[in-house]
Amino acid sequence: MNEFKKISQNKFNQLILSVAAMLFLISFEAQAGIYIEPYLGYNGGTLSTTVSSVAISDALSGTMFGARVGYSIPTLWVGLDYSMASGLQSYAASQASLGSSADISRTGITAGFTLIPMFDFMAGYVMSSKIKMGSTELSGKGVKLGLGWTMLPLISLVFEYQTLSYDNVSVFTDSTETVLSASVSLPLDL
């Protein structure tokens, strides 16, 4: 009889463990969904190029907007990231021109995770970065890292660092860009 109690207790423990595991997995499934994060912010960076063996450094800055759309589970999301920026290209002090407008568009894949409540860490690969300055158009790719801080239930501040290289350039050689951006976003997990 004592052995029957041990077997019964063991089966009961397995049943409880199985039910707990199913509830845990169901909660993951219940929270998985579509991730949408529109954002609006300020983009500032430096474009370093070489023209006929002369190094030139331009500052690119202006407003940006975009969105991340993808898939999420608790503490992790992955999605496509598209942004557009428009602003002023200001040349280095040694250049004769004072500035012109620049239009920037970037498409990439970004993944983020929440390690600490209120803070999101993200990393991404920029598959396509295009800069149009007058008749010149640069095309390249790069990587980015970011930190998001959620201070209110639906609003996040996001700071990103990007480093990009441009190889599809007709006039310039060895073109690289470093970008710092700050944005306000609305992360929605539907």
Indicate whether this model's pTM tops 0.85: no
How far the first Cα of the chain sits from its last, in Å, is 54
| Residue 85 CB partners (closer than 8 Å, separation 6+) | 43, 62, 63, 64, 65, 103, 104, 105
pLDDT in tens, 23-58: 555 555 555 689 999 999 998 888 887 777 777 777
CATH of 33-189, picked from 2.30.110.10, 2.40.160.20, 3.40.190.10, 2.60.40.420, is 2.40.160.20
The per-residue pLDDT for range 57-112, each reduced to its tens digit, is 778 888 999 999 999 988 899 999 999 988 766 655 444 444 577 888 999 999 99
Domain boundaries, the chain: 1-31, 33-189
